[in-house]
Structure 1
Amino acid sequence: MFEVTADLVALLIMAAFVAGFVDAIAGGGGLITVPALLLAGANPVEALATNKLQGSFGSGTAMISYARAGHVRLRDQAGMALVSLLAGAGGALVAHLIPAEVLRVIMPVVLVAVALFFAIKPGLTDLDRVQRMGPGVFTFTAVPLIAAYDGFFGPGTGSFFMIGFIMLAGYGVLKATAHTKLLNFASNLGSLAVFVFSGATWWAVGLVMALAQTAGAVLGARLAMRVGARLIKPLLVTTSTLMAARLLWQVWGV
């Protein structure tokens, strides 16, 4: 029934639950699930395709949780979500044109910068900030760039959306987290639609991981809404640092 043995399925379920919890708060769930899938015997394409399947459930669940609590109006984000979906699909389509080695060298530096930003930037609270970019400009500049990146690579997408919402759109930390989830969900769906045609998705494993992702996302979103920036900031710093370390480890081949 499953593409791997029962003991590996159990480990992947646990990895998906933790990833869903972390991703609902600060992003970076792929840091946990992609290496877990690779360790379970998936090749890189299978790991990315299966991760998009189960990750879509996690980001979708977190999105609904934040919307139900009133932290985001999904209808108001429909345009951004469509742009994110199309850009995510486009990123997945051109993935083979981007040398993965180049991204692996660049991304640790970017992720360390993200971690340092949230660690030392003063005044990052749940209160809204000064808006530096209007919704229209943000929709057609920052959103497609980040979503396309999600389609062809992925790690840190949630963190980059948060940076954009905070620094450009002027959102507070919790509001940025809530609005990030719909765009991340849309880019996941767009890239998943491309990966489906590759025939590389582990459907049985991906769907049971999706159930665990959903449970973790519900718990993570509830905790984030209860605690706010006091939880989101340190967890985002931690996940960004770990993603950078993971990518550096891949580059150096340790």
Structure 2
Amino acid sequence: MEKIPAIETQPLILDGGNSIRPQKRIFIGLLVATCLILAPLLALLWYVPFVGFTNIHPYLPLILGIVFGAFVILVFSGVFLLILTIMLGRDLFISKRLRGIIVKIVFPLLIGVGRLFGVSKAQVQRSFIEINNQLVLAQKIKTTPDKILLLMPHCLQFHDCPVRITGRVENCKRCGKCHIKGLLEISEKYQVGLAVATGGTIARRIIVERRPKVIIAVACERDLTSGLKDSYPLPVYGILNHRPHGPCYDTEVDLKRVEQAVQVFLPTPESAKPSSEASP
């Protein structure tokens, strides 16, 4: 098993694969709390009808206890494997399946559990994004540049820019007033796709048209978590935007981090040639 390629990130990402930063601790902490809440609840569900079940059949309480116990063991095992994947920074051959469970089941559940412990929805969303990224990296995806898509939000464009770039980002005049210029330079340098979306519907249409094998997406917490769920099982590496002027207005992105993410998913230089299956 190979080590996950390192990406230099904000203080939300694993530090060399050996420690867990605060955002991931939130997600894992809520997972453990959920398990600790779930176990006694299942025990109670088993105990309350205990007397009634014995009247039906003397072995029925035992059977129900075994079923509930197996479920609890399964949940705890999943949490353990998830933590192990994050701590080791290695592919345990189940990272893709774990990601599916987290996206479809665990994340919505943790939003509610987070409220019980005073953890805001935004904090859970940020933690979910970091966990998702770790599991995507654990898959050790390598693909040709034409199968990598940089999917950006429209709010990155300078608010007073008269140029329309949602349909064709190459229309950008590269005046340098926003980060679209830098993203174009990354796109051209590595020959990867770049698209700007105004919302989830447009983003989904772009994905269908481009048919990428991996997406590097930039957005706020709400849009990123929504996009991760909508795009599953397609691997999406999420990067939070910066909002120095407030949400949806002249937002920014860490260009260095975007470039590093692109490098992680590219093959070795000698094999980085466009595939014959590339869409026009």
Superposed pair shares fold, TM > 0.5: no
Higher helix share: 1
Higher strand share: 2
Q: Please, what TM-score do these two structures have when normalized by structure 1?
A: 0.28
